[in-house]
Amino acid sequence: MGHPPFKKVLIANRGEIALRLIRACHELGIRTVAVHSTADAESLHVKLANECVCIGPPSPTESYLNIAAVISAAVATGSEAIHPGYGFLSENAAFAEICGQCGITFIGPSVKNMRLMADKAQARRTAIASGVPVVPGSEDAGIDAKVALKEAEAMGFPVLIKAVSGGGGRGMKIVEKAEDFERLFNQASREVEAAFNDPSLYVEKFIGQARHVEVQVIGDKAGNVIHLGERDCSIQRRYQKLIEESPAPLMDDETRAKMHESAVQLSKAIGYGSCGTIEFLYDPISKDFFFIEMNTRLQVEHPVTEMVTFTDIVKEQIWVASGREISYEQDLVRHRGHAIEARINAEDPITFTPSPGEIEGYHPPGGLGVRVDSGVYDRYIIPPFYDSLVAKIIVLAETREEAIRKMLVALDECIIGGIKTNLDLHRMVLNHEAFRSGNIHTKLLDTILEERAAKESSVERAA
């Protein structure tokens, strides 16, 4: 690949994704700078980077979200570029703009792309103009409750209330009947104003038993865009993904090809020049799919795509940020086997409350086709201030059934002592008949949890 794209890159993140970025940079011959809060002084990303800078106290707003502190660290260390990973500042257009003003390359899309796709109503209009199907919904952002109710009645219940800004399921409400609409709309508005400082909402038709399927795209500054196939992210709780896989099960090749084409079409229409994800709702009965949003950043679940395409998405993202064209032509992208990712969180498996604390005994799984992305180690103390993700276990096998079996073995081999984790929840999902058959949807985990609660209740009554 010749000379490194940058001499030094600052990693504006923490945990497993910071390590992932550091490793990619080091393989490219790039020196790295880790920033950290006082709570993360003993973190693995701090130990593995070439340099480190403490940027503030534990609170994310005073450290990892502190734009002035991050930029100051980059300037002080002579960093040419900043990689934001995912979360934190990764989709903050103002931060990307400040990077540019300071002569620092933001490893991500253009400010214009970020602002366009961050406004979900505007992103929806862009998709429509590009000929990409969208879920029936309101065309105006920031509508009030009474206007929104009329639109909801016109499209028919159930409907979904969504935030114009932000993501992660904040403010998302499923409304089954008209009499509940205004109450839930106002409640959602208060939630998103508190979370994103923007109370704007929009409404779209709710599709029951739908699947969440997303297409990985990479674009460069020369206007080239390719896709790396799709991932199914339907196993989720409260809109937070738990298990992802590639390719999507039980999807015919014609539908798959149309979805890929739509993703590339939309990316080219906006001149997208980085890695990103086009997200769709897929109706397995009608085989229709609808654009819902675009994530203008690296995704947590990018490893499943890397495993089946043998592509390093992070390296490619860094290269195109430096101005180079994509390494691959679409015809050269090859897909092989089936990959599954399980997110292992430090949380109570029953109540789902976070379970920070000291890890007492840590043994990650291994073997052929097993990858573990993690930022923890034995005796590491998981701080209570951040996301509860401890590790991502990713497996690759020839078939989906083999991948499920491999993941179950990996979960059994994984030891994370001293804290509570959701390892058992993963086993329960992977062994469930609906998951094994590929008949998955975004509410399947809720169904599985209801079945567990009913079973435990009957056991208690019998006792």
In tens, the pLDDT along 90-134 reads 999 999 999 999 999 999 999 999 999 998 889 999 999 999 999
Indicate which residue of 31, 211, 297, 400 is catalytic. 297
How far apart CA 395 and CA 432 sit, in angstroms, is 18
Q: Reply yes or no on whether the pLDDT at 139 is more than 80.
A: no
Measured in residues, the chain has a length of 463
Decide: residue 24, CB within 10 A, 0-12 exposed, 13-18 middle, 19+ buried.
buried
Question: Which band of pLDDT confidence, cut at 50, 70 and 90, is reported for residue 140?
Answer: low
How far apart CA 12 and CA 83 sit, in angstroms, is 6
Q: Residue for token digits 């990479």? A: 218
Q: Reply yes or no on whether the pLDDT at 198 is more than 90.
A: no
Q: What integer pLDDT is reported at residue 349 of this predicted model?
A: 86
Residues of the chain with CATH 3.30.470.20: 211-454
Burial profile 354-389: b = 16 or more Cβ within 10 angstroms, e = fewer: bbeeebeebebbeeebbbbbbbbeeebebbebbbbb
Within 232-386, residue ranges assigned H as helices are: 253-269, 302-309, 313-321
Could you give the angle at the alpha carbon of 214 between the alpha carbons of 302 and 364, nearest 5°?
30
Question: Which band of pLDDT confidence, cut at 50, 70 and 90, is reported for residue 370?
Answer: very high
How far apart CA 459 and CA 21 sit, in angstroms, is 47
Which fold, 136-205? Dna Ligase; domain 1 (3.30.1490)
Mean predicted lDDT score pLDDT of the chain: 94
Helix or strand holding residue 399 (H, E): none
How far apart CA 348 and CA 380 sit, in angstroms, is 18
Helix or strand holding residue 449 (H, E): helix 444-462
Would residue 297 show up in a list of annotated catalytic residues for this protein?
A: yes
- pLDDT tens digits for range 251-264: 999 999 999 999 99
How far apart CA 412 and CA 427 sit, in angstroms, is 9
Question: Which band of pLDDT confidence, cut at 50, 70 and 90, is reported for residue 168?
Answer: low
Residues of the chain with CATH 3.40.50.20: 8-107
Give, in order, the Cα–Cα distances in Å from 437 to each of 256, 408, 430, 433: 19, 16, 10, 6
Question: Which band of pLDDT confidence, cut at 50, 70 and 90, is reported for residue 463?
Answer: low
Decide: residue 347, CB within 10 A, 0-12 exposed, 13-18 middle, 19+ buried.
buried
β-pairing verdict for 8-11 and 81-83: parallel
Which residues, in sequence order, are bridge partners of residue 354? 347
- pLDDT tens digits for range 211-225: 999 999 999 999 999
Residues of the chain with CATH 3.30.1490.20: 136-205
Question: Residue 134 has what DSSP assignment?
Answer: B
Q: What integer pLDDT is reported at residue 1 of this predicted model?
A: 52
Find the mean pLDDT for residues 27-39: 98
What are the phi and psi torsion angles at 199 (to 5°)? -80, 0
What's the CATH code, domain 8-107?
Answer: 3.40.50.20
Asked if 141 contacts 183 with a C-beta cutoff of 8 angstroms, the reply is no
Tokens found for residue 453: 């609660």
Asked if 219 contacts 273 with a C-beta cutoff of 8 angstroms, the reply is yes
Query: Cα torsion for 192, 356, 89, 442, to the nearest 10°?
Result: -50
Q: Residue for token digits 């009474």? A: 146
Q: What integer pLDDT is reported at residue 3 of this predicted model?
A: 87
How far apart CA 209 and CA 448 sit, in angstroms, is 14
Backbone dihedral region for residue 418 (phi beyond 0: left; psi -120 to 50: alpha; all else: beta): left
Helix or strand holding residue 32 (H, E): strand 31-37
Question: Does the domain spanning 211-454 belong to CATH 3.30.470.20?
Answer: yes
Q: Give 136 or 223, the one with higher predicted confidence.
A: 223
Question: Which band of pLDDT confidence, cut at 50, 70 and 90, is reported for residue 44?
Answer: very high
Share of the chain above pLDDT 90, in %: 82
Asked if 8 contacts 30 with a C-beta cutoff of 8 angstroms, the reply is yes
Find the mean pLDDT for residues 62-81: 98
